[in-house]
Amino acid sequence: MLLSAYQFVDLDRLALKQADLRAQAKRLGLIGTVVIAREGINFSLGGSRPQLDDWQAYLAQAHGIDQLVTNFQPVEAVPFLRLRVRIRPEIITFDPDIQPHHAGTAEHVEPPRWHALIQDPNVQLVDTRNDNECQVGSFAGAQNPHIEKFSEFAEWATRHLDPTRPVAMFCTGGVRCEKAGTHLKSHGFGEVYQLKGGILNYLQQIDQDQSLWDGECFVFDDRIAVDHALKPTDQGICAGCRNPVEGLDAHHLPPWDETGQCSICQQRFSQDKIAGIKERIRQMALARERGAKHLGPQGQDQNG
């Protein structure tokens, strides 16, 4: 079982909490990634349902984290190799001054109501995720901001969205929309809505024959992408730029020239970066030989 969750809540003594959270997760036998900041917690952890229930109870009793936005996903194998507990300036990188739990944010809309909302022609339907995620799948008719990182969303919204019209936003699990919603509300947008629990919640609640979702959903773990039934697909991503690319070799190595420039994405990778990517691929191959799962894109610490 996989549990992805977040909560915006004031946290202090982060170093002590980091040690405490790591010890508790290890005691329960959980693996995955936990990110904490002064503004809250964001995590994706794998284990049995009783282990994950104990983890939630511990967060509530020991740290007052008792209003998590959660998403449970059944998985055949936990898509992580190890446990990471990290301290960051923000649980999702955007703007540290944006504090959803201290200011107004978007109205949460349950998946059944989402259908009617996003079919209203006056509603601006917006995918707040990065461009590479949008390319894998999105809601039909949604605006793709074509951003490389979430912190670019604010500038895009200023240039492309009309504050006099309703905005309906969505992301993978909901956390990005919390910050985007607070930003929009503070800049004069009157009606701002977000899909409660994000795309993953929608795919679980809405039957595929009634769904308005088109394509796959990019996820931040070793599955890469999941279909409407939340089953892993054969989607591959480039080992260099982490974008979905067709036609790569079996290891998903990008086509570099002697200077390190990729002929697909035009990025230039340093020799140290290339060596690191090749070592990661080597470790993944060793993990497969052991019958294990190597830590996937969750290592990017973007779980939104």
Residue type, 300: Q
Say whether both 64 and 110 belong to one domain.
Answer: no
* 137-141, 148-152, 213-217, 278-282: range with lowest mean pLDDT: 278-282
Domain ends where: 87, 120, 141? 87
Say whether both 112 and 192 belong to one domain.
Answer: yes
What pLDDT shows up at residue 70? 95
The whole-number average pLDDT for the span 32-52 is 97
Give the count of domains, the chain: 3
3-class DSSP assignment, residue 138: strand
Q: Which of 155, 149, 158 is nearest to 176 (CA)?
A: 149
Give the end-to-end CA distance of the chain in Å, rounded to a whole number: 18
Return d(Cα 177, Cα 190) in angstroms, integer: 15
Residue 139 belongs to some domain of the structure: yes
- Residue at token pair 């899909």: 195
At 114, the pLDDT band (50, 70, 90 cuts) reads: very high
* 15-29, 145-159, 171-185, 224-238: range with lowest mean pLDDT: 224-238
Q: Which of 132, 131, 124 is nearest to 153 (CA)?
A: 131
Tokens of 199: 């795309």
Question: pLDDT averaged over the chain?
Answer: 89
Say whether both 199 and 240 belong to one domain.
Answer: no
Say whether both 116 and 31 belong to one domain.
Answer: no
pLDDT(64) > 50? yes
**What does the longest C-alpha to C-alpha distance in the chain come to?**
57
Domain ends where: 55, 87, 119? 87
pLDDT(290) > 70? no
At 300, the pLDDT band (50, 70, 90 cuts) reads: very low
Q: Which of 219, 156, 205 is nearest to 183 (CA)?
A: 156
Q: Is 171 a catalytic residue?
A: yes
At 109, the pLDDT band (50, 70, 90 cuts) reads: very high
User: pLDDT tens for residues 212-230?
Assistant: 999 999 887 777 789 899 8
CATH number, domain of 176, equals 3.40.250.10
User: pLDDT tens for residues 5-25?
Assistant: 999 999 999 999 999 999 999
pLDDT(167) > 90? yes
Residue 226 belongs to some domain of the structure: no
Return d(Cα 57, Cα 24) in angstroms, integer: 11
Say whether both 149 and 114 belong to one domain.
Answer: yes
Residues in the chain: 304
Residue 225 belongs to some domain of the structure: no
Say whether both 204 and 266 belong to one domain.
Answer: no
User: pLDDT tens for residues 65-106?
Assistant: 999 999 999 888 888 888 999 999 999 999 999 999 998 899
**Structural domain for 115, as ranges:** 100-215
Residue 230 belongs to some domain of the structure: no
- Residue of 134, 171, 177, 217 marked catalytic: 171
Higher pLDDT, 66 or 250: 66
Say whether both 71 and 109 belong to one domain.
Answer: no
Say whether both 115 and 203 belong to one domain.
Answer: yes
Say whether both 168 and 139 belong to one domain.
Answer: yes
